[in-house]
Amino acid sequence: MKKLGNCIRAELIKLFERRKYKIIIMLPAVYCLIVGAYSIAIKTRFQIGVTNIPLSVLSVCNNVIMPLMALLLAADLFAGEQEGKTIKSLLTRPVSRSCIYFGKIVSIMIYLIISYGMTLFVALIMSAFSGNFTAFGLGTCFASYILSILPMFAVVIVTGFLSQIARSPSVTIILGVLASAAMGLIGTLLPQFYGMMLTSHTGFYKLFMGSTFSMYTIMTSLGMLLGYGLVFYVVGDVLFNRRDY
């Protein structure tokens, strides 16, 4: 456990030492700030606006911003280090490759969780300014952001896998974008396969909203997410262990 903790800590330090990642982590919060400011301005003038800023922002974050951030992080931490040969220094340490792989995956997820937290904080402030802040709404927002972590974990694992079959960061990003577009297209053209696409589960938190919810739908979605996570994690770990650096 100590070695694993050291791996995660080393990867996080590596990320936050880079200026671009200090900026990128704030992008969702900046987007939220823009949406909130626009909503407040519209409401002040026309008495209309976004009724729930945190959830409106969360939908865009889960479907676009966070997956792109995960893809960029995986491209740098895996394919980038493989291309630059800097990963060789990691492999000389008395730590298994599986531990290194897991540490990178977890560090990416921690980075995204921090970004989620910053976004929620800004969203709640903007909600308070817009006059849409309630105790019930606060609980719903917290629950929705926490539930969004699960599908994003699966997304991070898939991006880690993609970085193992790519030879460069740019190829990893292209593969990720193409994979996302393909899943979206398949889900649209073949509705019977929609529920099997990972992109259809990024709104997992929505299954818990409303006066009633289907436990069968929740368990099915949860099973798909766990399936994606387990399969792509195992395959990615195997590829990482077998790669000749």
pLDDT in tens, 14-59: 889 889 999 999 999 999 999 888 877 776 666 555 567 888 899 9
pLDDT at 50: 59
Whole-number pLDDT of residue 231? 96
Residues 13-22 pLDDT 10s:
988 988 999 9
Per-residue pLDDT tens for 120-159?
999 888 887 776 666 556 788 889 999 999 999 999 999 9
| Listed residue (108, 134, 114, 168) closest to 53, CA to CA | 134
pLDDT at position 3 over 90: no
pLDDT of residue 237: 93
Q: Quick one: pLDDT at residue 88?
A: 74
pTM: 0.90
Confidence of residue 95 (pLDDT cuts 50, 70, 90): confident
Q: Which residue has the higher pLDDT, 112 or 89?
A: 112
pLDDT at residue 211 above 70? no
Q: CA-CA distances (angstroms) from residue 1 to 5, 96, 104, 141, 187?
A: 6, 12, 15, 33, 40
- Per-residue pLDDT, 135: 52
**Given this model, what pLDDT does residue 42 score?**
72
The whole-number average pLDDT for the span 192-220 is: 85
> What separation in angstroms does the CA of 241 have from each of 8, 26, 49, 100, 165?
18, 33, 51, 10, 13
Collapsing DSSP states into helix, strand and coil, what is residue 49? Answer: coil
Between 194 and 50, where is the model more confident? 194
Examine the pLDDT at 62 and tell me if it is beyond 80: yes
Q: N- to C-terminal Cα distance for the chain?
A: 26
Please name the amino acid found at residue 13.
I
Looking at residue 109, its pLDDT comes to 96
* pLDDT for res 48: 59
